Amino acid sequence: MDGREPPLGAGRAVRPDLVRITIAAVGKIKERYVREAIDDYASRVRRYATFEERELDDLADASLADAITKAAKQATVVPLDSRGEELDSRGFASLIEKLSRTGKGDVTFAIGGKDGLGPKSLALGPRVLSLSKMTWPHRLARLMLVEQIYRAFTILNNEPYAGL
């Protein structure tokens, strides 16, 4: 071997029994159509990993950071913020693969409320990601995130998915 990593999905699919993905998000999804779309993608993600959502109250930064930490348990926290690092879908899949092989393989993505996440919440993880430089309502950010998590698993498992 030359020491290089094999390409994504090259016989190293992420095992569902070893990966736990949590989305810890401020607020509740009130719109039925958004909830249905999130639930649809969540059911797809559950074919590849244990998946759950934790809806958090919109708290002051220190209290919200504590709530995210509690929801994450021992997981690696990845806060989302419009100022964070943007990845394409393959880069995001690579991140999921790497994080699934770190520690217990548990990952918690944190989404803030109308004012985003504060400095203490953003400092919870080794890196901060952005879904876009644009600002999105938390409910749509949650939908886009769960769709990208599903897309990441299809990439890692060399499965077809529209748009790739």
Model pLDDT, residue 11: 46
Cα gap 3→118, rounded to integer Å:
40
User: Which of the four CATH numbers 1.10.10.10, 3.40.1280.10, 3.40.50.970, 1.10.1740.10 does domain 16-156 have?
Assistant: 3.40.1280.10
Return the minimum-mean-pLDDT range out of 53-62, 94-103, 139-148: 94-103
Q: What is the pTM of this model?
A: 0.88
For residue 149, pLDDT beyond 90:
yes
Residue written as token pair 């959502």: 53
Instruction: Tell me how far apart the alpha carbons of residues 160 and 131 are, in angstroms, rounded to a whole number.
Output: 22
Name the residue ranges covered by the structural domains of the chain: 16-156
Q: What is the mean pLDDT of the chain?
A: 89
Distance CA 153, CA 89 (A): 10
